[in-house]
Structure 1
């Protein structure tokens, strides 16, 4: 498949936290012919190994991580009328993805429902709706205000395997990539765009006449949005080395970053200070590719690598980001951003002169 087709397939495929199976299958399919070994670990991470030079005993392994899970919802309870109350899985609010169709991923059947607030044509008697109106209660729309209309009875939902704990995802009808000018827009570029970077990196490394020194592990992680469970497990169980997370990165004035600019290299985030040698190595790799990397000190941001570094399961860590407008919402990236991030990652992994190694 072409890179564009793979990205569309990734975006279209449901992958809530703890329900990443379909995304993992795509990763395994694409990696099987590009790497030396592919497996799934006990945490559900998909891992691909590219073996380095066996004669070079000084180069540390590099673990590159992109997460498979997406921002999603989980059923908190099934009401007697067959409607569903939800809790978020990850930092998101109803306004991030809007009201509309959702996929209810029951154990036996996937159903369609509609995330709804209710009618705007209501008075103070409908307090739940009334308090969200800007000219009335003026409260931000939150999860206690919305519910999923299923059109099913409780008995029908039970037969479909819909209970508390069932994952709910934004419906596939809202998952088409939109191309406009020099940009691409979609939900769930976090972290499907980063997965596309790792898959393209595997292809580039296979085709490269250059050799890489140490072993490279491409790790597609589970449950990053709810605590980076998969990434932390992989960092603990794979051979010690450098851990680099690939993510979408916020483009805001407070960080001095722009969606028009080159790849973002983070020097810190809300959880950790990334290793300067690794960050400098990523900056150097970008400059070798003729790009203008954007160094950043991020707040309200976490990654697989920063979680692992913060609790001591990896000795050195870095973060490479695709510049992204409206992270955790309807996300926008430059049309060439995935290719640029791939160029940087490949250069970083191949260069024996990298300051990170």
Structure 2
């Protein structure tokens, strides 16, 4: 696959582009909060089904596709995963004026995505509102706002400081099916890919870019030389809140290896850069990955001329590390797209998706 296969236009906004790019944008516009990944799941199943021998949704809500190996006596099946859920918010309580008090679903803070429009996913109706702190033109008589001013209280902005203005009464919210537990997502108007130089940026490339990698890998294996072993492509639920879907799939699907595809942080402390090659993770906050698996990924990346980046990362966890840490998989590996500002406005190089796809495809064909 050419590194030019994912090529937004150079006008600054992502436009027509290739099929892969258009798919990525469709995924980014789809809301997928943890436990309510329906819109993303529909896209994944639609795209995956023609590329595998069987496809289904398991009891955990994961989309699973089985691509049978070419060899009758191949090695153990491999489970390869990318998650469908995104960072989002939950309604904690509703104020008498119809405003919503929130808490987070996944590790994030108001500053990760900024104040602005949000989508409130009511059971009967999707509403739009505005995540707001209130007016900056206030004094100490407005202590909640005053305390967060850098030149006054200097308090970091947190969920207790912000709220969603809905413009609706509590009765109207009830009729729309909005209550505590309702998911609130960053509005689609803030989720358009932007191209600049050799990079593209958007919220929620975690883990929509990795979903595109899995689908493109399935396409390559389906149309070209198949792997010797069976491969289970798994698009998981609830990764951001404990790796629930990936752990379930690791326990219930055949195989010994769970291999994840994720965004990977690019920071000086890890020796990784967003302009570098695919990141191979040797350890994260949850587990130490299997060295033979990581070494094999590094060897493949080097042989393909992709300049892979080995990394030991902290404050990070993923589906395979959750499964390994809880004894649900015998082996685990993690391959990442180098990503700037993970869990914020994320940036990847234009070549990141094709490079990781090429590396993953080769690994699945020859994992040992």
TM range (shorter): over 0.9
Q: Normalising by the residue count of structure 2, what TM-score does the alignment of the two structures yield?
A: 0.94
**Partner residue, 2:58:** 41
**Aligned counterpart, 2:130:** 114
What is the match of residue 337 of structure 1? 352
1-side partners of 2:359 and 2:70: how far apart? Answer: 21
Q: How does 1:88-107 map to 2 (within 5 A)?
A: 88-107=104-123
* Among 327, 347, 352, the residue aligned to 2:342: 327
Q: Does 1:151 align with 2:167?
A: yes
Once structures 1 and 2 are overlaid, which stretch shifts more, 278-287 or 131-140?
278-287
Give the Cα separation in 2 of the matches to 1:153 and 1:313: 47
TM-score by length of 1: 0.97
- CA displacement, residues 4-23 of structure 1 (integer Å, 9 cap, x when unaligned): 10000001110000110000
SS across alignment from 2:343: coil
1:198 aligns to 2:214 (yes or no) = yes
Following the alignment from structure 2 to structure 1, what is the Cα–Cα distance between the partners of residues 296 and 44? 27
- Once the two structures are TM-superposed, the CA of residue 285 in structure 1 deviates from its matched residue by 1.6
> In structure 1, how many angstroms separate the alpha carbons of the residues matched to 2:39 and 2:86?
12
User: Which residue of the partner structure matches residue 88 of structure 2?
Assistant: 72
> How far 1:53 sits from its partner (Å)?
3.1
Q: Secondary structure at the match of 1:19?
A: coil
SS at the partner of 2:117?
A: strand
The runs of at least 4 consecutive aligned structure 1 residues that moved more than 2 Å come to none
Q: Distance in 2 between matches of 1:240 and 1:62?
A: 6
Match of 1:247 in 2: 262
Q: Residue in 2 aligned with 1:275?
A: 290
- The answer for the alignment partner of 2:148 in structure 1 is 132
TM-aligned CA deviation for residue 107 of structure 1: 0.3
Name the residue aligned to 1:4: 21
Structure 1 residues 260-299: aligned runs within 5 Å? 260-299=275-314
The range that moved more, 68-77 or 276-285, is 276-285
Structure 1 residues 10-40: Cα deviation after superposition (integer angstroms, max 9, x where no partner): 0111000011000000001001111100000
In structure 1, the partner of 2:15 is: none
- How many Å separate the matches in 2 of 1:93 and 1:28? 31
Is residue 87 of structure 1 aligned with residue 103 of structure 2?
yes
SS of 1:32's partner is: helix
Q: Secondary structure at the match of 1:156?
A: helix
Shift of 1:54: 5.0
**1:304, distance to aligned residue in structure 2 (A):** 0.1
Instruction: Point out where structure 1 has 5 or more consecutive residues left out of the alignment.
Output: none
* Per-residue deviation, 1:211: 2.9
2:42 to 3, 25, 49: 25
Q: Separation in 1 of the partners of 2:164 and 2:289?
A: 41
More deviation in 47-56 or 229-238?
Answer: 47-56
CA deviation after TM superposition for structure 1 residue 287, in Å: 1.6
CA drift at 1:289: 1.5
Shift of 1:240: 2.6
Which stretch has the larger CA shift, 279-288 or 125-134?
A: 279-288
Measured in 1, the distance between the counterparts of 2:350 and 2:71 equals: 38
Equivalent residue in structure 1 for 2:73, among 34, 48, 56: 56
C-alpha separation between the residues in 2 aligned to 1:252 and 1:324? 9
Counterpart-to-counterpart distance in 1, 2:297 and 2:94: 48
CA distance in 2, matches of 1:195, 1:55: 29
1:242 Cα shift? 1.0
Corresponding residue number in structure 1 for 2:194: 178
What SS class does the counterpart of residue 76 from structure 1 fall into? strand
Matched, 1:309 2:327: no
CA-atom RMSD in angstroms: 0.8
How far apart are residue 185 of structure 1 and its match? 0.3
Q: Secondary structure at the match of 2:174?
A: helix
CA shift, 1:71, in A, is 0.3
Q: Matched residues in 1 for 2:311 and 2:34: separation?
A: 28
